[in-house]
Amino acid sequence: MIINYNLPDLLFKELSSGCKFEENFKKPSDSKVAFVLVSTLSLQERIILRRLMSERIHIVIVSSLQEAAIFGWKIGAFYYLEYPFSNDQFSILIQKMEVLKSGVYSNSKRIKLSYTGGFDIINLNDINLINGLGDYCQIYFQDQESKTYTYRLKKFESVLDNHINFLKLSRSVIININNVAQIKGNKVKFSKSPNLNVELSTRVIKRLKENMFWLNI
C-alpha cells in the first residue's frame, strides 16, 4: 500500500496512463486528502484504511481490485479510481475536490424558473434529468412529466455546481443520481417514475455507472 497525503505526484501520473493533472492539485490542500494505492486489500491494508477514515481524512482509493471499490464504498471513501483510470473519472474527482477546497455548499433546495407570465418553484429533489436543447432545456420530473424552459444548460450548471448529486454526463445531459433506480442497457429508470425510460448513449451510460457510488451523496 502506498499513501500520498499531498495530492497526486509523479507515481500517480505514471499510474494514470496519460491523464493530465491540473497544476493547482499538485499542492497540499487545506482539507487533507490521502491517495491510497491498494494492491492486495490485505487485513493490514483494511486496518490502515479504517484508521485513515477514523482520522477524518478524505480517502481516494486507487486500485484494479473490484473488492477494493466495494470496501471503499462500505467505509465511506471519498472516491475510487479504477486503475488504469480515465480522464472522465479524474475530471469528476477534480470537481469534487474543488467543492471540498472551497468549503462552499449551497443550502438551497429549490430553484425558480421564470417564463412569460409567471414562474415555477421547483424542488431540486423532484428533478430526474435535464436535457439541453440549445437555447432550451427539457426537465424530466419525478411525477413523470417533462417541461421545456427557455434556459441554456450552462445556466443550470452554475446553479447546481455545488449540488454533487447532480452529475453532468455530457454537453447536453445533467442527471440527479439520487433518483436513479435502474440502469439496464442504455436505458435509465428513476424512482417514483416507473414509466419514465430515458435512453442515453453508450459513452454516457458508462460514465454514469462509473460515478454512481462515488459522489458521497
Residues 131 and 92 in one domain: no
* Total number of domains constituting the chain: 2
Cα 98 to Cα 21, 102, 192, 217: the distances in Å are: 13, 6, 32, 16
Q: Which residue, 102, 123, 143, sits at the end of a domain?
A: 102
Structural domain boundaries enclosing 119: 110-211
pLDDT reading at 137 higher than 60 = yes
Residue 216 · residue 76 · CB < 8 Å: yes
Q: Is the pTM of this model over 0.75?
A: no
Return the C-alpha cell found at 87: 480522464
- Residue 216 counted as domain residue: no
- Residue 217 counted as domain residue: no
Q: What is the pLDDT of residues 166-181, one digit of tens each?
A: 888 888 999 988 888 8
Distance separating alpha carbons of residues 93 and 60, to the nearest angstrom: 9
pLDDT at 102: 55
pLDDT reading at 25 higher than 60 = no
Residues 92 and 151 in one domain: no
Q: Which residue, 54, 78, 102, sits at the end of a domain?
A: 102
Contacts of residue 213, Cβ cutoff 8 Å, sequence gap at least 6 = 69, 73, 80
Residues 85 and 33 in one domain: yes
Distance separating alpha carbons of residues 37 and 139, to the nearest angstrom: 40
